[in-house]
Amino acid sequence: MTHATDAIVMEGVRKRYGEKSALDGLDLVVARGTVHGMLGPNGAGKTTAVRVLATLLRHDEGVVRVAGHDIRTEAREVRRRIGLLGQHAAVDEELSGRQNLDMFGRLYHLGARRAAARADELLERFGLVDTGRKSIKQYSGGMRRRLDLAASLITDPAVLFLDEPTTGLDPRGRAEVWASVRSLVGGGTTVLLTTQYLDEADQLADRISVVDSGRVIAEGTADQLKAKVGGDRIDVVVRDARQLASAARLFGDEATVDEDRRLVGVPAPDRMAALTRAVQALEAAGIEAEDVVVRRPTLDEVFLQLTHRTKEAV
Amino acid sequence: MSTTNATVLIDSWTMTRRELAHWQRQPVQVVIGLIFPVMLLLMFGYLMGAGRGIEGEYISFLVPGMLALTMVFGLEATMLAVTQDLGKGVIDRFRSMPMAPSAVLVGRSVADMFQSALSLVVMIGVGFALGWRWDGGVAALLGAVGLLLLLRFAMLWLGIHLAMLAGKPELVTAVQILVWPIGFFSNAFATPQSMPDWLGAAVEWNPLSATAAAVRDLAGVPGQLSGSWAAEHTYLLAVAWPVVLIALFFPLAVRRFRRLSH
């Protein structure tokens, strides 16, 4: 079901490049004023989806509405209401930060005076006043991304697309971008965020769509997705790596083994009872455990299970 | 409709300002761009003209050829600028904004035409300083500048189209290499009469030759427009060549730009 209040609607969207399907019937509904995470491995179709939504790429089939407007027939109306932060800085490298924002403001038809004022305002808000007159070439990666984000916000867009906003940034740059995104959400902007980083989706998104091979394979809140992999788990870390295989045998087919961490993972739907059984079984077998913990599954596990990929491939 | 037209104008001006701001930030590059054709003019003028003892006469022959050559070489500058732009994310931002899409190309063309006009002024000034004789009067001079800029405008749209066709800087290098023989395969440095018959006849059909011969005739150098059909219809060719190129490559370039979303 879609509603008039939905900021983004994609229904059965397909995009082919020759033989290859980039989007293979993608469905997505994002309610107004929420942050939606689109999670998937490289090549899953995330960027293609964002480029279709931002009117940069024409889809072959399906319905796409952004901020209440059809992107095919009302592209310009859509463009008035969106902001885009792509994977690569979409700013003019030759110009200064201020010149960039001023230029984009004029292209949003704010007029010369308001464009200049808005540029100053955004430089201030994103802590770029000191470097506003320097050429972008001299900016750090984090500063560039912040300027890029500022450029996406010139007209306070109703819908903001963030395509892997922190890819290639150091931890500090990442923290900067996360803080900026959080501050935006309070203002009522709808955000669609694509990411390969599970913690990023976990931290920022209200709901998450897991995308693989051009379609959504799971959707829900982070907690709902975590619940999908069967609830809580027990991690057993054995002291002696040579006992790893025999420890795994104690827990049967459902056990997963991580050799690097000397860890056996077991589903534990009944939590404490399962923990007691595990400790007793280890003791009986004479296997010494360094650590035994009950925990919620991570989004990593959800992701790996849903996409049927090995950890190495992600 | 009128608001759309106003938008195209405003956006085109904003995009032109962007190019001017690039120049302001890279004045050295601008100066080099202006000096390069002057260097070629001096080099050929003294090496070839003085070598044959016809210095003053040769300068009057050479300057119109060099002016036309400079317009053709503008192709490289346009291609390079468009290729570099397309390779950057900033074009994506432009395309995701409610601006007039044509403004990106219009801004490019206004800036390039402005640069070429400036280059012509410098070249013509240097030409006069070297002893270029102009017997044709001011109106003829303006007509000559008009023909030269028309040729540049054709090269502009050819350049935009080629840049989008290739999409990669590698093809720019290929065109940069090819533009030299095309430039030399003309009457810029030597009269077709001084070449073997077959070569002279081919050379006269080069668009560059038509513009150069027309400029020479406007300057009042006699004996330019006689002999072959091409020579006798130099003015027709000097207008028709660029017009045909523009009619061909302007719509192709605009279509390619629109189809970036496919």
DSSP string of B73-123, one letter each residue: HHHHHHHHHHHHHHTSTHHHHHHTSSS-THHHHHHHHHHHHHHHHHHHHHH
In whole numbers, what is the pLDDT of chain B averaged over residues?
89
Tell me what pLDDT residue B258 has: 85
Contact A109 B22 (CB under 8 A): no
Which of A117 and A250 is assigned the larger pLDDT? A117
Tell me what pLDDT residue B177 has: 86
Which of A256 and B169 is assigned the larger pLDDT? A256
Q: In Å, what is the CA distance from A306 to each residue of A130, A218, A252, B39? A: 46, 8, 22, 66
Contact A84 B92 (CB under 8 A): yes
Range of the structural domain that residue B126 is part of:
3-260
- Measured between beta carbons, which residues in chain A are less than 8 angstroms from residue B26? 94
One-letter amino acid identity for B157? W
Give the rounded percent of residues in chain B with a pLDDT score beyond 90. 55
In whole numbers, what is the pLDDT of chain A averaged over residues?
88
Confidence check: pLDDT of B224 > 70: no
Closest CA to A38 of A80, A10, A77: A10
Confidence check: pLDDT of A55 > 90: yes
Confidence check: pLDDT of B51 > 70: no
Encode pLDDT of B56-88 as tens digits. 678 889 999 999 999 999 999 999 889 888 878
Encode pLDDT of A68-115 as tens digits. 999 999 999 999 999 999 888 889 988 999 999 999 999 999 999 999
Mutation for testing the B interface, residue in A71, A88, A107 having most B CBs under 10 Å: A107
Tell me what pLDDT residue A176 has: 81
Least CB-CB distance to A79: which of B11, B97, B261? B97
Tell me what pLDDT residue A314 has: 37
A16 touches chain B (CB under 8 A): no
d(CA B211, CA B244): 14
Domain count, chain B: 1
- pLDDT bin (cut points 50, 70, 90) of residue A311 is very low
Q: By mean pLDDT, which of A85-94, A128-137, A197-206, B43-52 is the weakest?
A: B43-52
Which of B224 and B207 is assigned the larger pLDDT? B207
Beta bridge partner(s), residue A10: A28, A64
Per DSSP (E only), the strands in A138-267 are 159-163, 190-195, 207-212, 215-220, 233-238, 256-258, 263-267
Q: Are A90 and B89 in contact (CB under 8 A)?
A: yes
Backbone angles phi, psi at B47, to 5 degrees: -65, -50
d(CA B14, CA B17): 5
- pLDDT bin (cut points 50, 70, 90) of residue B44 is confident
**Mean pLDDT confidence for A255-268:** 86
**Mean pLDDT confidence for A46-51:** 95
Q: Per the structure block, which two tokens stand in for A160?
A: 């903001």
**Mean pLDDT confidence for A141-168:** 90
A230 to chain B nearest CA, in Å?
42
Which of A299 and A36 is assigned the larger pLDDT? A36
Confidence check: pLDDT of A50 > 90: yes
- Measured between beta carbons, which residues in chain B are less than 8 angstroms from residue A86? 89, 92-93
Contact B92 A86 (CB under 8 A): yes
Tell me what pLDDT residue A310 has: 39
Q: Per the structure block, which two tokens stand in for B261?
A: 């979303």
Tell me what pLDDT residue A148 has: 92
Q: Per the structure block, which two tokens stand in for B53?
A: 């003892």
ipTM: 0.84
- pLDDT bin (cut points 50, 70, 90) of residue B110 is very high
Contact A89 B89 (CB under 8 A): yes
**Mean pLDDT confidence for B161-171:** 82
A134 touches chain B (CB under 8 A): no
d(CA A279, CA A248): 13
A74 touches chain B (CB under 8 A): no
A243 to chain B nearest CA, in Å?
53
**pTM, rounded to two decimals:** 0.82
Residue B174 burial by CB count (10 A; 0-12/13-18/19+): exposed, middle or buried? exposed
DSSP string of B219-238, one letter each residue: HT-TT-S-SSHHHHTHHHHH
Q: Per the structure block, which two tokens stand in for B219?
A: 């300057």
Q: By mean pLDDT, which of A3-7, A270-274, B47-51, B161-165 is the weakest?
A: B47-51
Least CB-CB distance to A57: which of B94, B98, B261? B261
**Mean pLDDT confidence for A283-293:** 89
Residues of B with CB under 8 A from a CB of A: 7, 10-11, 14, 17-18, 21-22, 25-26, 88-90, 92-99, 103, 260-262
Which of B70 and A140 is assigned the larger pLDDT? B70
A90 touches chain B (CB under 8 A): yes
